[in-house]
Amino acid sequence: MPRTTRPTAALTAGLAVMLPAALLLTGCTSGGSEGDGFAGALPAREHATPTPTPPPTWPYVALGDSYTAGMRISPQTGEPRGCSRSSANYPSLVAKALGLTAAQFQDVSCTGARTGDLTAAQRTADGSNPAQFDALTPATRLVTLGIGGNDAGFVDVVTECAKDNLVDVVKGLVGGRSASPCRDHFASDGASGTDEVQRKVEAAGDRVGQALQEVKRRSPQARVLVVGYPSLLPADPALCKPVLGGTVTPGDLGFLLEKEQQLNAMLKKRAEAAGAVFVDAAAPSAGHDMCAGEEARWIEPPFPAEGLAPVHPNAKGQEGVAAVVLKAVKG
């Protein structure tokens, strides 16, 4: 999610299509109740319950940051080029599965986006992205929103954790290492009982809530899906040793996992409060984190495959998230 003035964010099973429910057949009789002499006088007529009309899925507008945009995933498309938007990102895959035309789908997501970039133009290293909300109209019927990680400063947390652990390795040459130097860095100030990262997540939640209210105001008939972030790390830190070695302590890997869980919990809470649908991308991506093998992972590690963005979804990750988003759209 990098941008000109902000650091890169470290902070996204084929498409599953839900089939409509089978027709429910009911019988009815003509006339009175059982025992009145008319029951069974005429054969029961079967009436099929009408199949509910599915909600319209277009016009569809995709909003979000680099986890939505598909940073560095080929093919890159759209303007400005600085948004690093891929035509193989999950919004594009969902639109294709829904059979939408180019006129029925608009992806305005942009790498580096924060909630402020939904209502104001965002400058990138190569061009300016108009305010993402400009794409919303009263006619819009489907909106996906994947944002909040940059507001919560998740990039700063990951960067700081890497630095703290590196410094701690050097210190460990002459003394013992801390079990969790990054957690120590962001420790609670003792007054609120919450650490610095959690406070930033909560502040980001206020902005996400306001953004969802604005989506509703601009597109009152749209179905809104808030897409969470996929799992960056496994539940067992030991699984990361082959990929990360001993550069980050198990305690700090657990800390980062905890902070991402808080971020997703905040998004879920805000989505539900706004009457939107929360799409959980973390659970389906379990086992596909950055520490999984190259063939299994949806998220690239700090040293990614050539051409891809570190700690960001790869093409398989976009396909995986597209599957859960499509399931929510069809559900």
Coil vs helix vs strand at 285: coil
pLDDT digits (tens, 9 = 90+) for 210-256: 999 999 999 999 999 999 999 999 999 999 999 988 778 899 999 99
Q: Which residues are catalytic?
A: 66, 312
The CATH code that applies to domain 61-147+158-330 is 3.40.50.1110
Q: What is the pTM of this model?
A: 0.81
pLDDT digits (tens, 9 = 90+) for 76-129: 998 999 999 999 999 999 999 999 999 999 999 999 999 999 999 999 999 999
Which of 315, 10, 331 is CA-nearest to residue 153? 10
Contacts of 5 (CB under 8 A, 6+ apart): 123
Spell 148-180 as b/e; 16+ CB within 10 A means b. Answer: bbbbbbbbbbbebbbebbeebeeeeeeeeebeb
Q: Residue range 72-76: average pLDDT? A: 97
Q: Residue range 293-312: average pLDDT? A: 94
Cite the DSSP H helix spans in the chain: 66-69, 90-97, 116-119, 154-171, 181-185, 196-218, 241-244, 250-273, 315-330
Q: Domain segments of the chain: what residues? A: 61-147+158-330
